[in-house]
Amino acid sequence: MRLTRETTTKEDKERQQQDYNDYVKQVTPTHSLWANMLKAFLVGGAICCLGQVILNVAGNMGLDKETAGSWTSMLLVLFSVLLTGMNLYPSVANWGGAGALVPITGFANSVAAPAIEFQKEGQIFGIGCKIFTIAGPVILYGIFSSWVLGLIYWVLKLMGIVG
């Protein structure tokens, strides 16, 4: 009798495990790597083409290359923040994946989105506290990494290894 009960329990566990595995397969979304790469390429390419158009227009207006590049960066950030504020950029990023998140527009979105989300909590405790929740670590580690590399360069220069 005991052997039968253990066998039944073991069969029940195996059946439950199989049912669970079937459920996981059913609810797990399937993604096509090639389709995701194509979407990222199209969105990232469109952002870069927009940047190139802005750069060309600014250059044709008589601005030097450096100033035109600055205007391009500022306008891309502005467009990204406006699209984030109108709740359109998350849809673009959801469809385009890394193509929308990697360029400068993705960084602007990551700064603006928390501020917009928490604006109802006020200027100080909402926007002021949350604006750098995502971008803050990027800025922090970027500054720290540049400091470490500068220190290494300085030591190598003192030792005469680099000129």
Q: How confident is the model at residue 95 (pLDDT cuts 50, 70, 90)?
A: very high
Confidence band of 22 (pLDDT split at 50, 70, 90): confident
Residue 4 confidence (pLDDT): 56
What average pLDDT does this structure show over 65-88?
Answer: 92
User: What is the model's pLDDT at position 1?
Assistant: 46
pLDDT at 31 over 70: yes
CA dihedral 17, 31, 95, 36 (to 10 degrees): 150
Average pLDDT, the chain: 85
pTM for this one? Answer: 0.63
Q: Domain residue spans in the chain?
A: 1-30, 35-130, 132-163
- In 3D space, the residue among 83, 138, 148 whose CA is nearest the CA of residue 116 turns out to be 83
pLDDT in tens, 108-130: 887 777 777 776 777 677 667 77
Q: Tell me: the pLDDT tens digits for 124-158?
A: 776 677 766 766 777 788 889 999 999 999 999 99
DSSP secondary structure code for residue 87 in this structure: T
Per-residue model confidence (pLDDT) at position 67: 95
Mean pLDDT for 49-68 is 96
Residue 2 in this model has a pLDDT that exceeds 70: no
- Sorting pLDDT into bands at 50, 70 and 90, what band is 6? low
DSSP per residue over 90-147, as a string? HHHHHHHTHHHHSSHHHHHHHHHHHHHHTGGG-IIIIIIHHTTTTHHHHHHHHHHHHH
The identity of residue 122, as a single letter, is G
